[in-house]
Amino acid sequence: MPNALYDALFKPHQNNSAAFLRTPDQADYSYQQFLALAAQIANTLVAAGTQPGDRVAVQVHKSAQALALYAACVQCGAVYLPLNTAYTATEVEYFVNDAEPGVVVCNGDAHDALAPIAQRVGAKVLTLNADGSGTLSDAAATTLTTFATVDRTADDLAAILYTSGTTGRSKGAMMSHKNLLSNAQTLVDYWQFSESDVLLHALPIYHTHGLFVASNVTLLAGASMIYLPAFNVDQMIEQLPASTSMMGVPTFYTRLLDDARFDRQRSAHMRLFISGSAPLLAETHEAFEARTGHRILERYGMTETNMNTSNPYDGERRAGTVGFPLPGVSLKITDPETGAPVARGEVGMLEVSGPNVFRGYWRMPEKTAEDLRENGYLITGDLGRMDEDGYVHIVGRNKDLVISGGFNIYPKEIELVLDEQPGVLESAVIGAPHPDFGEGVVALLVASDAIDLEQIKATVAGCLAKFKQPKLYFVIDELPRNTMGKVQKNKLRDAHANAFKPG
Ligand code: AMP
């Protein structure tokens, strides 16, 4: 019995001495070297007691070793569970309790905070630092550079990626070998990736975009990556002439455009710029074309489904749209109340089905049943319409999601913290247009007593990741509500639409 994902993404490269990862500040890795490292990590995970199907929770900085840890999990049949590096120990505790991993891999400086949390679920803790050092690497260095790949079926899980829940509880999206592989195959073909591609990779690898879209596509095509630890405009501009392609969130594009060094000549060698994870403003699309001559290719996806739609490679890349359903992906636009398809051009709920659609939420059958219909269609929570030429336009989100700098933020989670603060009667958290982050988090507080905003900010900083912390606070008299008692966030958004505008 084979291991579909390993056999397609990794195994073909076992004797490939071509470059895979180019890390400007550290050593480069050929495919062969990368796979030897992955095999050593797989040996280490198995020595730590990892069995097929066990979860391996990973909260580490981006490094070659961190990506090899993903490959190692695939090879030894474990379920890779990456966590945002910004999460606090309190936040990580929820994921560890929910997923019950056999191994937790964390940064050395988080060891003492996470060890007792891991211990309570019987997980072993290994460390991996940004420079690749740590107890994981120490142990791996003593093992063989080969590993007998563990068999898996196409429906076995390869990864669990947590998405935040609108009710404040995060949900673990279960991704099978088939889900990941089918999407990578579609994207390599659709975006015409080949082994001559060099992808400029500045995305985080705990999220589907940087992990599956970017890395799986590169691996399947046998291409290479210039692998940066994070987005840094100087490094991006420096590395562009050596790259052929880039995947980014809209913020990457606005930041590049803000720098006068970024010009036509710098991007002359580029074949393709791709954007996703949040809406790319049509004006950014146009400014980018005016500056570079390139039309950004915008696509739409989500953790639960990988990629669903994309603008065409050869045809017209239409600004403000996310293009067409990808081959193999079936998209319906339905009435959110009845589930019946709406007429072409009308706004409705986007629903998708295909081999890319996940296997449900980890240990949450009732949530899975709410979102995933029996006929295989996932109710995405995104509202959109299809124009007369078949291009999909995303017009809003049914959920209350705020997307800031490409990160999804669910207001409820922040509101729960704010509501508990002294002097706060109730709160509402919204996203307001932000020139750099797309949206910025704004908190509206209703007071029951004297409010100490500095104290509240300090408490919030102690328990929520930085990207979730409100950038602005306003104390208001009352929250607008409809007759059903629901807070009318659209009214709050309108009232604070200019909150981040200068002047
Ligand atoms: P995530 O699960 O973090 O990948 O977030 C998925 C959500 O991001 C989707 O449900 C959409 O709301 C949003 N999204 C992703 N790509 C786009 C895009 N190109 N335009 C607008 N929204 C997007």
3-state per-residue secondary structure call for 406-464: CEEECHHHHHHHHHCCCCEEEEEEEEEEECCCEEEEEEEEEECCCCCHHHHHHHHHHHC
Per residue in 227-280, pLDDT (tens digit) is 999 999 999 999 999 999 999 998 899 899 999 999 999 999 999 999 998 888
Q: List b or e across 319-333, with b for residues whose CB sees 16 or more CB atoms inside 10 angstroms.
A: bebbbbbbeebebbb
Pairwise CA distance, residues 84 & 170, whole Å: 12
Q: Whose CA is nearest to atom 15 of ligand 1?
A: 277
From the CA of 275, give the closest atom in ligand 1: 19
Contact 349, 398 (CB under 8 A): yes
pLDDT (0 to 100) of residue 326: 98
Q: How confident is the model at residue 503 (pLDDT cuts 50, 70, 90)?
A: low
Pairwise CA distance, residues 200 & 266, whole Å: 13
Q: Whose CA is nearest to atom 1 of ligand 1?
A: 302
Residue 352 CA to ligand 1 centre (angstroms): 13
What does DSSP assign to residue 467? G
Q: Which helix or strand (DSSP H or E) is residue 92 part of?
A: helix 89-99
From the CA of 381, give the closest atom in ligand 1: 10
Residue 379 structure tokens: 């109710």
pLDDT (0 to 100) of residue 399: 65
Pairwise CA distance, residues 425 & 17, whole Å: 62
- What residues pair up with 138 in beta bridges, in sequence order? none
Pairwise CA distance, residues 298 & 309, whole Å: 9
Average pLDDT over residues 183-209: 97
pLDDT (0 to 100) of residue 486: 56
Which residues contact residue 60 at a Cβ distance below 8 angstroms, ignoring those fewer than 6 apart? 66, 69, 85, 105, 106, 107, 128, 129, 130
Q: Is the alpha carbon torsion for 232, 235, 238, 240 positive or negative?
A: negative
Strands (E), 207-305: 224-227, 245-248, 272-275, 297-302
Q: How confident is the model at residue 484 (pLDDT cuts 50, 70, 90)?
A: very low
The one-letter code for the residue type at 388 is E
Residue 407 CA to ligand 1 centre (angstroms): 10
- What residues pair up with 291 in beta bridges, in sequence order? none
Single out the residue of 358, 461, 384, 389 nearest to residue 418, CA to CA.
461
Global pTM value: 0.86
Strands (E), 3-44: 19-22, 29-30
Q: Is the alpha carbon torsion for 373, 170, 105, 120 positive or negative?
A: negative
pLDDT (0 to 100) of residue 28: 93
Per residue in 369-398, pLDDT (tens digit) is 999 999 999 999 988 999 999 999 987 667
From the CA of 299, give the closest atom in ligand 1: 19
Residue 302 CA to ligand 1 centre (angstroms): 5
Pairwise CA distance, residues 480 & 138, whole Å: 57
Pairwise CA distance, residues 457 & 360, whole Å: 36
Q: How confident is the model at residue 26 (pLDDT cuts 50, 70, 90)?
A: confident
Pairwise CA distance, residues 50 & 150, whole Å: 12
Residue 19 structure tokens: 């470059």
Q: Is the alpha carbon torsion for 251, 256, 257, 258 positive or negative?
A: positive
Residue 189 CA to ligand 1 centre (angstroms): 22
The one-letter code for the residue type at 380 is T
| Rg (alpha carbons) of the chain, rounded to whole number | 23
pLDDT (0 to 100) of residue 46: 98
Q: Which helix or strand (DSSP H or E) is residue 5 part of?
A: helix 4-5
Give the Å distances, CA to CA, from 163 to 95, 304, 363, 401, 488: 11, 8, 14, 11, 24
Residues with CB under 6 A from ligand 1: 163, 208, 276-279, 298, 300-303, 322, 380-382, 394, 397, 408
Q: Whose CA is nearest to atom 16 of ligand 1?
A: 277
Residue 232 CA to ligand 1 centre (angstroms): 23
From the CA of 276, give the closest atom in ligand 1: 19
Mean of the per-residue pLDDT values of the chain: 94
Pairwise CA distance, residues 252 & 113, whole Å: 33
Pairwise CA distance, residues 400 & 30, whole Å: 43
Q: List b or e across 442-461, with b for residues whose CB sees 16 or more CB atoms inside 10 angstroms.
A: bbbbbeeeebeeeebeebbe
Q: How confident is the model at residue 166 (pLDDT cuts 50, 70, 90)?
A: very low
Residue 301 CA to ligand 1 centre (angstroms): 6
Measured in residues, the chain has a length of: 503
Residue 381 CA to ligand 1 centre (angstroms): 10
